[in-house]
């Protein structure tokens, strides 16, 4: 019997997207409420921009961006130091067979978007775009 697998346009299943979104909400809530007892995380406002789950739901890649990109390295180090606490908290709030391992990375999509906007604002590029 063939398995029915609903997939999104990006190729990831709806379940992976839904679980990733649950993880994102829980981590955002933990960081916003200051439940992680770390001076760096308490003094910085951190946005969890996306969580990508592995197909087996055992690994979660968490993309973060500190407010205004300030002290990104220090924030990443603090998150990686407190990974065990965050994994426990997420596992307690999400009912899954296994507790997913969290991996924190800086979200580069904002930097890439800014770079593309600068390229498009360049007079040489604007001149070519104006012809169409």
Per-residue confidence band for 1, with pLDDT thresholds at 50, 70 and 90: very low
CB 104 within 8 A of CB 62: yes
pLDDT of residue 130: 65
Superfamily of domain 14-107: K homology (KH) domain (3.30.300.20)
The proportion of the chain whose per-residue pLDDT surpasses 70, expressed as a percent, equals 85
CB atoms inside a 10 Å sphere around CB 11: 7
The C-alpha R_g of the chain, in whole angstroms, comes to 19
Task: Using CA atoms of 108, 114, 117, 121 in order, give the dihedral in degrees to the nearest 10.
Answer: -140
Find the angle CA(28)-CA(60)-CA(95) to the nearest 5 degrees. Answer: 75
Residue boundaries of the structural domains of the chain: 14-107
Q: 70 or 64, which is more confident?
A: 64
User: What does the pLDDT look like over 73-120, one tens digit per residue?
Assistant: 888 999 999 999 999 999 999 988 888 999 999 887 767 777 777 877
Side by side, the strands of the sheet bearing 59-66 are: 46-53, 59-66, 101-106
Quote the pTM value.
0.76
Q: How far apart are CA 15 and CA 66, in angstroms?
A: 28
């Amino acid at each position: 019997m063939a398995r029915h697998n609903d997939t999104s346009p990006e190729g990831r299943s709806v379940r992976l997207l839904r679980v990733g979104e649950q993880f994102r909400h829980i981590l955002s809530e933990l960081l916003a409420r200051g439940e992680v007892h770390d001076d760096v995380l308490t003094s910085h406002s951190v946005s969890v921009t996306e969580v990508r789950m592995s197909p087996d739901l055992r690994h979660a890649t968490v993309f973060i961006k500190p407010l205004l990109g300030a002290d990104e390295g220090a924030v990443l180090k603090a998150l990686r130091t407190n990974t065990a606490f965050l994994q426990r908290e997420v596992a307690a709030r999400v009912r899954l067979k296994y507790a997913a391992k969290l991996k924190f990375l800086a979200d580069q999509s904002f930097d890439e978007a800014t770079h593309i906007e600068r390229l498009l604002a360049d007079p040489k590029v604007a001149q070519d775009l104006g012809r169409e």
